């Protein structure tokens, strides 16, 4: 009797124009960052891709630790139903990087090659036959968008705002924030800083998403941010060496000697007040259910300050994860809510009309059953 070897796993297919990835007939639910990691690995299949290469390609100039990459690889393996111990797709090269070892499907034909021969209503169609190019459309969230714009108006008038967008995984927290930011990003009077929390084990790195946000803001806004940090928060500027010349870094390091956690928090609160004194600042921190306690302390401090500030802080998190892990964000958010110092925006499932609208715009040539 012959013995069969293990079956080959489903092939991976990348749809670059839609930022989608397929594992056989199953579309993978990936964040943009995790998709970028997978795409880079697939483009260099069967070759060693070092950690430095992935960090430089996917995160570019963003300052992150190896924990961000480790979290993305973990999420990617979970989506692929892969295992680090018995990999079928992503093999770890100890202390060096990763190698994609799975099968790869050829890219799907473009939409135009399918239009002439669309099947009848109710017939099965491959994903490539119905996907329209272009960005994903937001549907059924106009009330939430209006609430965010109302918070932005209050922040413009000097009333600092802290808004939490909450809900379960995949319900559209990031999509809502992205849609809102796309509508305000053309306004030169608004500065936008973004940072993302990553799943960490142990104590974790303090203020990780805030450092990422400040690094991005500094590279986008240049001297203004560096000047404010040098004046009000030298301990923070010391941790963003890419914003400084070598001789300036040495001077900042001398000023930051002996910094304590309380001093760092006090400095950053002053710096955010200075940055938002004359210009509107929107600070976005995603996945706060993975945040460290120092970041939560910062959010509480920003919300409790009484001084006027043109500041809107948007935070996203999975409410169920916060409750299940007894994350300090839960108690802090509750206390801030009692005193009217924050607003929570829980996202509900889309209504049937909203789903219909989404499908009509996202798949304009579809013939899905009603």
User: What would the pLDDT profile of 243-259 be if each residue is shown by its tens digit?
Assistant: 766 656 666 666 666 66
Is 326 a domain residue? yes
Is 189 found in the same domain as 93? no
In this structure, are 211 and 335 located in the same domain?
A: yes
Q: Say what the pLDDT of residue 68 is.
A: 80
- Residue 206 within any structural domain of the chain: yes
81, 154: one domain: no
Give the end of a domain, one of 34, 66, 100.
100
Identify the pLDDT of residue 124.
42
pLDDT value, residue 219? 80
Domain count, the chain: 2
Residue 182 sits in the same domain as residue 265: yes
Q: Are 65 and 59 in contact (CB under 8 A)?
A: no
pLDDT value of residue 246: 60
Answer whether residue 4 is part of any domain. no
In a domain, 267, yes or no: yes
Based on the fold, state whether residues 82 and 220 are members of the same structural domain. Answer: no
Range(s) of the domain holding residue 326: 142-346
Please write the tens of the pLDDT for every residue from 276-321.
988 899 999 999 999 989 999 999 999 999 899 999 999 999 999 9
Please tell me the total number of residues recorded for the chain in this structure.
370
What would the pLDDT profile of 127-186 be if each residue is shown by its tens digit?
443 343 344 457 888 899 999 999 999 999 999 999 999 999 888 898 899 889 988 877
Query: Are 198 and 327 members of one domain?
Result: yes
Residues 235 and 336 in one domain: yes
- CATH classification of the domain holding 54: 1.10.10.10
Query: 206 and 288: one domain?
Result: yes
Q: Rounded mean pLDDT of the chain?
A: 82
Same structural domain, 181 and 327: yes
Tell me, yes or no, whether 219 and 166 share the same domain.
Answer: yes
User: Tell me, what CATH number does 260's domain have?
Assistant: 3.40.50.300
Give a yes or no: residue 166 inside a domain.
yes
Indicate whether 2 belongs to any domain: no
Note whether 229 and 334 are same-domain residues: yes
Q: Which pTM value belongs to this model?
A: 0.64
In this structure, the answer to whether residues 86 and 157 fall within a common structural domain is no
């Amino acid at each position: 009797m012959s013995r069969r070897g293990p079956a080959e796993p489903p092939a991976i297919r990348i749809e670059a124009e839609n930022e989608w990835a397929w594992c056989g007939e199953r579309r993978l639910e990936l964040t943009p960052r995790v998709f970028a990691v997978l795409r880079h690995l697939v483009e260099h299949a069967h070759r060693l891709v070092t950690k430095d290469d992935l960090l430089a390609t996917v995160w570019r100039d963003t300052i992150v630790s190896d924990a961000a990459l480790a979290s993305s690889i973990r999420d990617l393996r979970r989506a692929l139903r892969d295992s680090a111990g018995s990999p079928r797709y992503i093999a770890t090269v100890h202390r060096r990087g990763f190698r994609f070892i799975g099968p790869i499907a050829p890219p799907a034909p473009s939409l135009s090659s399918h239009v002439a021969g669309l099947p009848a209503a109710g017939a099965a169609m491959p994903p490539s036959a119905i996907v329209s190019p272009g960005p994903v459309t937001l549907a059924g969230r106009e009330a939430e968008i209006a609430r965010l714009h109302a918070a932005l108006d209050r922040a413009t008038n000097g009333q600092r705002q802290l808004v939490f967008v909450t809900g379960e995984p995949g319900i559209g927290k990031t999509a809502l924030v992205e849609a809102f930011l796309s509508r305000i990003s053309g306004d030169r009077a608004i500065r936008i800083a973004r940072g993302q929390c990553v799943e960490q084990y142990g104590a974790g790195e303090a203020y990780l998403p805030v450092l990422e946000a400040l690094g991005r803001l500094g590279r986008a806004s240049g001297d203004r941010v560096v000047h404010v940090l040098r004046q009000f928060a030298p301990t923070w500027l010391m941790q963003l060496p890419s914003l400084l010349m070598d001789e300036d870094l040495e001077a900042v390091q001398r000023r930051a000697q002996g910094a304590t956690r309380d001093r760092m928090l006090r400095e950053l609160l002053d710096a955010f007040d200075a940055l938002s004194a004359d210009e509107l600042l929107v600070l976005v921190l995603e996945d706060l259910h993975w945040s460290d306690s120092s970041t939560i302390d910062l959010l509480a401090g920003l919300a409790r300050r009484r001084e006027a500030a043109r500041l809107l802080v948007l935070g996203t998190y999975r409410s169920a994860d916060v409750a299940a892990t007894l994350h300090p964000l839960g108690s802090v958010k509750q206390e801030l809510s009692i005193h009217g110092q924050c607003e929570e925006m829980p996202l509900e499932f889309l209504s049937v009309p909203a789903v219909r609208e989404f499908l009509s715009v996202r798949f304009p040539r579809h013939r899905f059953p009603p």
